[in-house]
Amino acid sequence: MSTFNISIKNAGKLYDIELESNDTGLKFKERIHELTNIPVERQKILIKGGKLNDDATVSSLNLNLKQPIMVLGTPDKGLPSKPAEKHVFIEDLNQNQLNKVGMEPSGLVNLGNTCYLNSSLQTLFQINEVTDRLSKFESTNGVNRTPTESLTVSLKGVFQQMLKKHESVNPMLFLTLFRNVYPQFAEQERGFFKQQDAEEAFSQILNALGQTLKVGDLFRLSFKTEQKCLALPEETPKIDYEDAFKLNCHINIKTNFLKDGILDGLKESIEKYNDTLQSNTEYELRRTITRLPKFLTVHFVRFFWRRDTQKKSKILRRVQFPFELDVADMLDESIKEEKVSIRDKIRKVEKENLDMIRDFKKAKNESTSNPIEQQEEENMKLLSIKSKFNDDLKQVLPSNVNLEETTENPSSVYELSAIITHSGSSADSGHYQSFVKDQNDLDGNKWWKFNDDKVSSVTREKIETLAGGGESDSALILVYKGVGL
């Protein structure tokens, strides 16, 4: 008879269990109870297939003995048992209880053509690394603060209010300071503040936070740039290196997909003076990526200046974007092989993780707890599955990659996490909104729509309609996050 040495993980602690091959699922649960004090009936064990039957033998479970098995449940603290409670239904809960169950994010008040700012703030708020650094920010006091420090302190206050999940938050102080630091956003017409470009606002806020919070590395791309003279192909190309904080997706009459527009933007022709020819001639300029950030910002270059109307007009063409973006074909050869290798390993772990999520979605919920307790249990399940995913990732990533601290993407693949959209035909008018992926939804099907102070839930199908093709909502900025980070 063979012996199985199984590791389990509960509430961040690891436990070792030794079982025989013919031991049953019930025996396994009893051993878990001995170690964690979680009653058998309260245990939820994350194994492939979703549910561990009491009469199943350990040898039939096909367990991965190299990875700990996640166990959910609250331990029995030996307290007297409570009297039986009646079932609690959603319609019976008061508003405070409903807020705890729903946990709907906060909206932002529109202070007069400020949807461009609200959509930018909602997008930045969903980036946990920015929010965490902001919460720890300390600056000099009073008159010794620089304008950028004052702006950062104000943003910290706005985000603290948003963390409390108030129905709506008024960002008036931040807006006032923002216009002081960047006067172009204080432009008025006929006594009213004008609509502004969300991409410009988003970039300026990031620029300010780069100075005060040093968040630049989270978004910084690095490029190798090669300039080649087309008239003298034998001439050695000139090599330069440069940084940027976004990828541009250029749109022309042939652009149908995001990657087409990005790749077009990485190649261009310029005219410059050539010493050998003693005249101006055409050069081909080609960029390849040498550093991938944790967060990849992609800008749809939809606005252009029209001389006849003296306004920024909008390219309305439909350009489809993926929920998962692989930039392997944009990488420099110096990093491509390693990034692709890690990408393939991550995708394997990702598939196994999705299989586990699918199994648990199928599993029947036999809980008799009230909605608040069910929500807490769902949150615990989410954290445990994410924890297992991180544990599995650490096994395939290079030893020098710290998932919690890295500012780079170790692979070439990203997942979409936020979008800023614009509706209308001109940058000086129309309306901006943001759409943010719900980080607590394991399927990736639930997104939050932020229309200033109006917040609603939408599905993945709605996100697919944001590719443009008219004056309705079309994606302007996409924020991607490295898969697994």
Kindly indicate the confidence band of residue 67, based on its pLDDT and cuts at 50, 70 and 90. Answer: confident
Q: What is the pLDDT, as a whole number, of residue 426?
A: 79
CB contact set of 397 (below 8 Å; sequence gap of 6+): 342, 345, 346, 403, 410
**254 shares a domain with 325:** yes
Instruction: State yes or no: pLDDT of 369 exceeds 90.
Output: no
Model pLDDT for residues 432-476, shown as the tens digit of each residue: 999 999 988 877 899 999 999 999 999 999 999 999 988 889 999
User: For the residues 280-290, what does the mean pLDDT come to?
Assistant: 94
Q: What is the pLDDT, as a whole number, of residue 425?
A: 82
User: For the residues 54-72, what does the mean pLDDT come to?
Assistant: 80
Asked if residue 479 lies in contact with residue 247, where contact means CB atoms within 8 angstroms, the answer is: no
52-61, 162-171, 459-468: the lowest-pLDDT one:
52-61
This prediction's pTM: 0.80
Instruction: State yes or no: pLDDT of 283 exceeds 60.
Output: yes
Q: What is the pLDDT, as a whole number, of residue 21?
A: 82
CATH number at residue 200: 3.90.70.10
Kindly indicate the confidence band of residue 485, based on its pLDDT and cuts at 50, 70 and 90. Answer: confident
Q: Between these two residues, 46 and 455, which has the higher pLDDT value?
A: 455
Q: What is the pLDDT, as a whole number, of residue 93?
A: 44
CB contact set of 394 (below 8 Å; sequence gap of 6+): 403
Q: What is the pLDDT, as a whole number, of residue 224?
A: 97
User: For the residues 62-69, what does the mean pLDDT come to?
Assistant: 76
**304 shares a domain with 417:** yes
**442 shares a domain with 333:** yes
Asked if residue 432 lies in contact with residue 114, where contact means CB atoms within 8 angstroms, the answer is: no
Q: Is residue 393 part of a domain?
A: no
**432 shares a domain with 342:** yes
**424 shares a domain with 318:** yes
Q: Is residue 383 part of a domain?
A: no
Kindly indicate the confidence band of residue 91, based on its pLDDT and cuts at 50, 70 and 90. Answer: very low
Kindly indicate the confidence band of residue 81, based on its pLDDT and cuts at 50, 70 and 90. Answer: very low
Instruction: State yes or no: pLDDT of 214 exceeds 50.
Output: yes
Instruction: State yes or no: pLDDT of 367 exceeds 80.
Output: no
Find, among 333, 381, 380, 334, the residue nearest to 359 by Cα. Answer: 381
173-177, 255-259, 341-345, 365-369: the lowest-pLDDT one:
365-369
Using the 3D structure, point to which of 25, 57, 72 is the last residue of a domain: 72
Model pLDDT for residues 339-348, shown as the tens digit of each residue: 999 999 998 8
**143 shares a domain with 65:** no
**128 shares a domain with 34:** no
CATH number at residue 20: 3.10.20.90
**27 shares a domain with 124:** no
Q: Which of 33, 87, 299, 431 is catalytic?
A: 431
**198 shares a domain with 270:** yes
Instruction: State yes or no: pLDDT of 228 exceeds 80.
Output: yes
Q: What is the pLDDT, as a whole number, of residue 3?
A: 82
Q: Which domain holds residue 41?
A: 3-72
Kindly indicate the confidence band of residue 415, based on its pLDDT and cuts at 50, 70 and 90. Answer: very high
Q: Which of 33, 87, 115, 229 is catalytic?
A: 115
Q: Return the ∠ at Cα 98 (arms to 96 and 101), rounded to 5°.
A: 115
Kindly indicate the confidence band of residue 247, based on its pLDDT and cuts at 50, 70 and 90. Answer: very high
Q: Is residue 77 part of a domain?
A: no
Instruction: State yes or no: pLDDT of 166 exceeds 80.
Output: no
Q: Establish whether 115 is a catalytic residue.
A: yes
**68 shares a domain with 111:** no
> Going edge to edge, which strands form the sheet with 3-10?
13-20, 3-10, 69-72, 44-46
Looking at every residue in the chain, the average pLDDT score rounds to 86
User: For the residues 2-16, what does the mean pLDDT come to?
Assistant: 82
Instruction: State yes or no: pLDDT of 189 exceeds 50.
Output: yes
- Domain count for the chain: 2
Instruction: State yes or no: pLDDT of 180 exceeds 80.
Output: yes
CB contact set of 28 (below 8 Å; sequence gap of 6+): 6, 17, 19, 45, 52, 58
69-83, 165-179, 228-242, 452-466: the lowest-pLDDT one:
69-83
Instruction: State yes or no: pLDDT of 97 exceeds 50.
Output: no
**477 shares a domain with 433:** yes
**146 shares a domain with 25:** no
